[in-house]
Amino acid sequence: MQTEKFDVVIAGAGLAGLTLAMEMAARPFFRQLKILLIDREEKIKNDRTWCFWAKDEEPIPPVTHKTWNNCRFFSHSAEIPMRITPYRYHMVRGIDFYRYAHERISQHTGIQRLIAPVTSIEAHTGIVHTTRGSFQGNYVFNSALTSLPLLPPADTHFPEPPLSRISDAPKDPHYTWMLQHFKGWVIETPEPVFDADTATFMDYRIDQKGETRFMYVLPLTTRRALVEFTVFSSALCPAEEYDEEIRNYLYKHLNIKHFSIEETEFGVIPMSDFPAKSIADGRVISIGTVGGFVKPSSGYAFKRTQRKMKAFVDAWEKTGTPASEIFSSQTGFRMLDSIMLRVLRDHLVPGDVLFSQLFRKLDAPHVFRFLDEDATFAEVLRLVMAPPTLPFLKAAGRQAANWVRGYGV
Ligand SMILES: Cc1cc2nc3c(=O)[nH]c(=O)nc-3n(C[C@H](O)[C@H](O)[C@H](O)COP(=O)(O)OP(=O)(O)OC[C@H]3O[C@@H](n4cnc5c(N)ncnc54)[C@H](O)[C@@H]3O)c2cc1C
């Protein structure tokens, strides 16, 4: 069978693949190109919600479902005042984003869509094999397949990992491999109980069980909210534990006894310092989670994906060549992420203490600027001094040997 040729093949049409396709579709420079966008799914389900902070002048997709002007933060013993101005906290529903992206992309006649599982990608030829044929790209952008142990294997509790793992390579012990895993219920209450303009960013008033565990509450109206139990750890919890934690929290801390569950969400996000910069291989450029777009120390990726893709496509339009280096974070931020992960993994500072100290000593916009990698050198220094310094030095010491050997940065 003949292999059809394309200028660009995008394998994986989730957040990263669709954002790339939209950025290209918006620029006349790419109008002549023949582009193929492949996903195993049609993307017509609301499979996740994305939240992120942004200033009003920052571009955000026009399909925002909800915006909060205020956020709250609870340490294990008290509320810590959290003022997020000039940022606001936003929610985009997966289904709205997918519909919006498909509509924008359909205006570019050069972009074709294919619904089929990708089975393998040949890096040097750029041939992408699917169950419905093989397609060759001058450039291939991959957010679907990974050879890294970023997520746990599929099981009854986690039936559909969002990425396809194509090798059984074990975890390289030079890197930190943690998971952010969470379950959320969208609940509805008979009486108004929520402040619809205030999101609970982190609530650490729950048993930590030797891990980093917090609740996250996103009120959609005064009677409806997404209530999520989140854990940073190396392995998933037993399935029933997520539900028990949400139920206990509703009873104990929100005093909600009567409610109905309207929707549920379960997710796992890798928190790892694996070296994404080396994943441009032959004609293949890794993007999204596979390409290291998830901020290792927070698990946030939505805004980073929008920003990285815009910068990348802008530069491609200007120079005529795609340069994957644009996707890399600065070395200093990567080192800080790997130190923070090491602190959390090795329990050098309990996560609830670490995040509570950060939000007690620094204002929220300062922490947001750091997580967005917009912080100045002076701001980074102040942030590094905010949590207990000794454990951070210890973690840096443990990482230093890796950095000298070229691992982890
Ligand atoms: C439930 C959930 C909630 C999240 N919430 C937030 C949040 O609030 N804020 C935030 O900043 N980040 C959040 N994240 C993290 C991150 O933003 C998302 O995971 C984001 O979708 C990652 O983008 P991506 O393109 O790498 O992956 P995805 O959006 O998952 O896209 C990967 C695509 O590859 C496709 N695919 C996989 N295997 C194959 C195959 N073999 N063949 C063809 N296609 C394939 C999948 O169908 C999917 O469409 C969340 C993640 C999850 C899982």
pLDDT of residue 42: 96
Q: Which atom of ligand 1 is nearest to the CA of 19?
A: 25
Cα–Cα distance for residue pair 365/57, rounded to 1 Å:
15
Distance between Cα 386 and ligand 1 center (Å): 32
Cα–Cα distance for residue pair 255/245, rounded to 1 Å:
14
The answer for residues whose C-beta is within 8 angstroms of residue 20's C-beta and 6 or more apart is 10, 141, 287, 309, 312, 313
pLDDT of residue 250: 98
Domain ranges of the chain: 4-48+94-171+273-327, 177-271, 331-404
Write the pLDDT tens digit of every residue in 71-93. 999 999 999 989 999 999 999 99
Query: Which token pair is 86?
Result: 């000039």
Write the pLDDT tens digit of every residue in 312-325. 999 999 999 999 99
pLDDT of residue 155: 83
Write the pLDDT tens digit of every residue in 169-203. 889 888 899 999 999 999 999 999 999 999 999 99
Mean per-residue pLDDT over the chain, rounded: 93
**Topology of domain 4-48+94-171+273-327, CATH:** FAD/NAD(P)-binding domain (3.50.50)
**141 pLDDT tier (thresholds 50, 70, 90):** very high
Write the pLDDT tens digit of every residue in 4-58. 999 999 999 999 999 999 999 999 999 999 999 999 999 999 999 999 999 999 9
Q: How many helices (H) and strands (E) does the chain have?
A: 9, 20
Query: Do 4-48+94-171+273-327 and 177-271 share a fold?
Result: no
Residues with CB under 6 A from ligand 1: 12-17, 38-41, 43, 48, 50-52, 117-118, 143-145, 162-164, 265, 267, 269, 288-289, 294, 300-302
Most ligand 1 atoms within 8 A of CB, residue of 18, 42, 50 to mutate: 50
Of the options 3.10.129.10, 3.30.9.10, 3.50.30.30, 3.60.15.10, the CATH number for the domain spanning 177-271: 3.30.9.10
pLDDT of residue 405: 67
